Structure 1
Amino acid sequence: MDDVAAALDSGSPLPLLGLASSMLAMFEPRPSFGRPAEPSPPDREELIDSFFAVDLRETSALLAALAGLSGDDPLRQRVRREVSTRGHVLPRWLLGLDQAQPVEPVVRIRDVLGDAEDIVFAVRLPGGFELSVVTLVDHNMGTLVKDSFTVPGALDDLVPTLRDTIEDPDVTLTDLDPADARAMLTEAIDLGAITFPPIETESWPASRPFVRWALGLFPSGGTGWSRPDWPDDARAALVKRFLASPFGAGLDDADHRGLLDDLLWFGTGYGPGDPLRWSPASVEILLADWIPRKIVADVDYLAKAPDLLRAFIRFAHTERGIRAELTTETLGAVDFWEPEYQQTIRSPRPQGPQALLAAIGALDPDDVLARQHGATAGLDGMALESLHRAVGGPEALARLDTEALPDEPFDRQQVPGDVREPVAEVLVLVDRCCEELFDVELRTAARRLLARLAVAEPGIFAGRHRADMLAAAVCWIAGHANRAFDRGTPTVKDLMACVGVRASSPSQRAKPLLRALGIDPDLWAYRESPLGSPEYLTAGRRAEIIAARDRPG
């Protein structure tokens, strides 16, 4: 109620409307796609009834704001009757939210490469208050609303400011038909609302109910998003132009034509839908995820993609007249991502539908890999390098033994004094999980790993840490390094249940821990999950590595 009182006294409608929007956002359904359901939020009607039961100016204001933004006509009528009987003095703009008006024009801010755009619109409340809304639509994520924020003030004042601050010659500001803006943003909001994992920022989706309400003030009947049309004959003509150009010299063979079809599939079917506009972001998506996940082919074929992409980017940007500086930046992204790409296509990885299910959390990616790649086959140079990473180098591999890890206590002396208490909380859960699910050896490995993390990055354990998630992440890392989940029992789900967390995998929480150890978390699972030392490996895992080391090539 103190927050509501402060919002009422601020002199601006925005604080109270923002608070009401945040409250309404709590009750919006969230997709799970087969993952364990999140705890149910409180019932909206029960909360609203509690405000009816308390006769205060603050509850009257909240009721008016919630009803106004909700789109629920019966609730609006009920609130109107209740507030009129209480006699509280409320701002004119609040009592007249249903009289708010849209402001024209709507402004569209677009980048020449088409990754994303801002749509800016405004509404005018009774009493003359204007609120301007800036909404970011990300095309690379499927044309969905990624963020939105509202600022007090007229759109006529905001647009000149935007023009002055946007000095980029590759960004344009144009007017957009208000009805089209409503249709386009409604589509993008609806898609974002069913996207998993949900997009969350400081202001989104907390502001989503307010944005929906504001868009409802604009005229209906507009046209939503339309993608560029690339029928088969247009794509064939594009391929012919590229291969006949200097950029396509030497690339007219079966492999490159096949890969070119894949590039056009990506370029027309994803992002902004224009295969002649390439950006650093689209290059990252293509090389770091899309090709390794989507295209099932041998390494020699896939390895040709980066060079073909460089040639096609130069051709495409020339056709579109895109500035040379942007082309250089985009080609730089190919250079940056190629080493990881070349490593990934040579490594075990989920592909096809299983990759999609792993990405949304319906399958554990490491369980998928365990089924796809149950054992090391042959010892080529890459496999030998993988073994070196697992144990810390060729010398460590040569002298590796199968002596069991000792049952040793946790070394508290290593832990910095200011985080000893939170580390101790994590240790209790780590020990419990290892005792219930694993064995003494893996408990020693997990204890050693926890001590190393506390020394390497004590800040992980400071502040508002989650002891349960940190413990799950430590056990998950130690378990995967030792292939403890490959046998099917225990499962990652068992681990999460042991620490009392309703989540499918601790892989996201493990990422900062792996970075603290100097390990790239995005490549870790594809590289035999190395921790770089045999001191974290059980006797069984070391025996597997020795067998792989000594297996005939």
Structure 2
Amino acid sequence: MSRRRHDRNPLGQGAFHRPASRHIPHTPEPAPSSAVPPADNPLIEVLRPALRSDDPTVFWIAAAPLVVELADLRHHPEELPEGVDLMDTFLEINVAETTALLHMIAAMCPDEDLRSRARVGLTSRRQPMPPQISGLADATITDTVAITDEVGENLMVELTLPRGVRAVLIAYIPRAPALFVKDAFVVGAPMEEVLHRYREIMASEGSSLDEALEVVAPADARTRLGQALALTPADEGTAGSEEQWPMLRPFVEFVVGLMPAGGTGYDEDDLLDGAPLPTSERPPWILEDGTDLVAEFTASAHAAGLERVETAADLVAYMMVVLGGGLGDPLAWNPELAEWLLTDVLPTTPILSEDQAAQVPSILPPLVAWSLERTGEDPSVIAQTLREITPLLEQFPVRRADPRMRAQRLEEQVDLALELGDPSALRLADLALLVGGFDVLAELDTTPLPTERLPLEQFPDNLRDLAAEIDAHLVDGVSALLAGQPAPDQTAELLTACRRLLARIAELDDAVLRRKASTRNTAAAIVSLIARGNELMGYAPAPLHEKDLRRAFDLRSNPSQRARNLAEAAALPHRWSGIALADPGLLLGTARAEILRKQDVLREQDPLAGPGAMGRRS
């Protein structure tokens, strides 16, 4: 369902609404209460149509990101203009929209202080509220089911509010390589209507809802969803629908809290076995009459000057797959299509080896010329097309080598494994993501990182004092963090990894270091990324937890927002669960040893598991 039609909202696009943008509207500066009339406040403009909608879910969807933002800014006041308290803004503007928002905060904000302030504020509000707002405190769970597929399940929870308001929360939970919430959205309809629509969709695809449907006890649903949420870091974007998830997370956690505790969750037996892959159709380079276009090209005069024809043939076949799948014609070259391939597809695809990618600039011109000549295109058009793609070809190696392109390739390698529905391939791709690719995984060793100082000479002159201050906090914080741990000798290694990450951030995007933020907070965020990426901190069996980090750096809250910004600046790839540093130079020797141990276990369980597994299986 994560890649099939039933993963989408079963009631269609018109069945639920969403904010026009994922960006959370910020209050103007200075505070809106003193500068902008409530009617013209951009926050009010976002909430007003949501509050007036007939769909009970629309306001939940619009307000949930604000609940997240409010809780985050509560712990990061430096991101607001001086003297501005966002919660005070909501309390001071006494209109229906902010009253409704206070109801949301009181019900589901993760910060107890903010919940308390919202409840107090509501005592003076008199605006009438629709039942989906005022009735949140009285919501109950009336039905819980799951629809399973070959990769995971859609866990579905029906909420009933006063005056007959019903809605269904749908959370998609893959079960390999680890449990996590990949997507979640809420539909303003009763469970029977949602299931009826699923039944129709699945029947049209030749499958049966009854075979995939499981009635789940509410306590079991709570435990399952709670397990998946616990493995879905709150401070990381998750590759979901991007319509509601992960912004809807506080609402999902609110729903979990409505269900009874004590249920049974997932265990090792729930990890999925490999499923047979569908038989592939005729490849696009083979015409109906049996003509092999790849063989025809490699035998043509256009390909006479190419080296390593076999490698060229694989690359040509891949580009014909892209063209055939997207346009229905593997020879349909034009400048716009070439630009799309060279800027969006080929730099990020995990299918090509580095050797194949290096041959793109030499292979593409003769392939384009041969393809257009074969389809009868005028020579002047062919020449113009080649002239237009020449600068793109010159830029391609640099674009392919860009750290952000590399991160996207690693992410898409995992997505490809998920498409295959093969748990072994998926877990192997996740291990490759952790170290930076299959080629790196094949050469991985367990030598401890050397002791290194921070290379201040590599920093811009106007950043060196700031970097030195961050480094001083790193030294003190790491020492305090590892004090009393079983392996205190990891202090030097951890410091080296943190310093390397700091230097990398300065090289790729030093603007993030210039933003207003305390150097102590920045140092703690760097340690958080490195410790979590080495599985030293996080959920059990990790020996360290967020409270240990806060204690070591004398912080009142976890530096999650700062860590997000730094991870983005360092071009770290996104991972479903946890942090992927994607660089053995940032991994401690013990972490690399554990990754190799997991790879050995995979190979024992599945002899085909290895860097070439996806190619063999596809």
TM-score by length of 2: 0.39
Query: Rg bigger for which structure?
Result: 1
